[in-house]
Amino acid sequence: MSEPPRFDRGHTDDLMSFLAASPSPYHAVANTAERLEKAGFRQVSETDAWDGSSGGKYVLRGGAIVAWYVPEGAAPHTPFRIVGAHTDSPNLRVKPLPDTGAHGWRQVAVEIYGGPLLNSWLDRDLGLAGRLTLRDGSSRLVNVDRPLLRVPQLAIHLDRSVSAEGLKLDKQRHLQPIWGLGNDVRDGDLIAYLEETAGLAAGEVTGWDLMVHSVEAPAYLGRDKELVAGPRMDNLLSVHAGAAALAGVAGSGAGLPCIPVLAAFDHEENGSQSDTGADGPLLGSVLERSVFARGGSYEDRARAFAGTVCLSSDTGHAVHPNYAERHDPTHHPRVNGGPILKVNVNNRYATDGSGRAVWAAACEKADVPFQSFVSNNSMPCGTTIGPITAARHGIKTVDIGVAILSMHSARELCGADDPWLLANSLVAFLEG
C-alpha cells in the first residue's frame, strides 16, 4: 500500500465545490467575493472616492477581481505582495446569433475560446452558464447546470479513417452542439429559454456572455484517492488557493510588513488584452489608488512598486507517463510533489534567479516542497500573465503553479495534495 494522503481534505473538498460552482469567470469572481466577504472584506466601487482605512477591500469588474488587505498603520509606501491568477478557461462560447440547426436538429452556434482540446468536448453532457445583460444595464448570472447540450461525435462506421489517421475536427462545422429537435429554427429561442430560467421577463435581455461547461462533478480518482479530476483547474485552482491564502493572512494580519493582494484576471487564454485582463490598467489603477488614498505621493507609489513582488500562479505540465519524451529530460514535475517554479530564459515566464530566491524562502517558511519546470528545448513554451505583469507595472514577478495533466481539456487532472500545498506556500509569501 502507498502512503495515505497527507493533504488537507477540507481544502481539497472546498476546491472541488468552488470548481463546480464556477462555470464561468463571472461566477468565479462572484464566488471569490462571497468568500472574501465572509473573511471581513468589503466591496469598493471604482466610481467612488476611496479612503485610506485599513482592512480588506475588493473591486469587481466583469470576470476579474482585485482584493487587498491594508494592515493597521500601513505607510503610503508600504510594498505589495501580489498573487496573480486568471479566471477564464478554454471552452465553447455562444455567438451573437445563437439559434441554428439543420436536418431536424436544433443547435446552438458557438465560437472557440482560447486553445481548448477540442476532442475533450465531444460526447459530453454540457450545461450553459455566464452573464446576461439587461435593458437597464444591470447584469444577472445564469447557470443551467444540467445536461442541456451535446456535441456528438461521428460514428466510426461513417469515418473509418479516424483509427488510422486520427480525429480531425473542423472548428466551424463539427463543434456546434445540439439541444433539441425541430425543423423551424426560431431566432431568440435560446435567450428566451435563459430569460425564463433566470426568472426574467421576455425581452429583458439585450446582451450576453455565455459559455458551455461539462456538468460532470469534480471527483477524487485512483485507488487511494490521491488524484482529483475536474473542470477549469487552469486556472481556478490558483484563484481558489489565492483567495484562501488572502483570507487567512487577513485573519491574522497584525504586523504585516506588506499589503497582500489577490489579482484574478479574465482573458488570459486569448492574450490578456482587455479592460479585465492582465494587460489592462486594472491592477495598476487599484494599487495606485490604494497608495494615494493613504495620503501617498507619486514618490510613495514608486517606492511601493519598487518593493513589490508578484507570484503569477498558473497551472503547469506534470510529466506525462505516455509522452515523457515531450518533456525536458532532467525536469519531470510530478503530481503531489509540491508546486512548481516555471522558468524560461526567453521570458515566456518572468522568473529569474532573484525571484527564485523569493519563492524558495516562502516554500521553506511554509515547509512546502517545490519543483522546477522548463520546457523541452524542441517544444515551444507557453506563457502566463507573469511577463505581462512585470513589463506593464515594473514589478518583480515569479511564475509558479501546480503541475497537472490534460491541460486545456474539458476535464483536467491534478494531485490531491498539491492545491493545499500551493495555498500554504501562498500564505507564507503574502505574509512577506
Mean pLDDT of 11-39: 98
Model confidence at 5: pLDDT above 80: no
Buried/exposed code over 283-307 (b: 16+ C-beta within 10 A; e: otherwise) = bbebbbbbbbbbebeeebbebbbeb
Model confidence at 206: pLDDT above 60: yes
The three-state secondary structure class of 10 is helix
* Distances 371 to 3, 58, 238, 330, 331 between C-alpha atoms, Å: 20, 32, 17, 12, 8
Helices 282-293/298-306 angle, 10° precision: 120
pLDDT tens, 88-134?
999 999 999 999 999 999 999 999 999 999 999 999 999 999 999 99
The whole-model pTM stands at 0.96
pLDDT tens, 222-281?
999 999 999 999 999 999 999 999 999 998 866 899 999 999 999 999 999 999 999 999
For residue 348 the three cell numbers come to: 515566456
DSSP string, 336-357: TS--EEE--TTTTS---HHHHH
H/E segment holding residue 38: helix 25-38
The rounded distance, in Å, linking the Cα atoms of 283 and 288 is 9
The more confident residue out of 89 and 7 is 89
User: C-alpha angle 371/375/381, rounded to 5°?
Assistant: 125
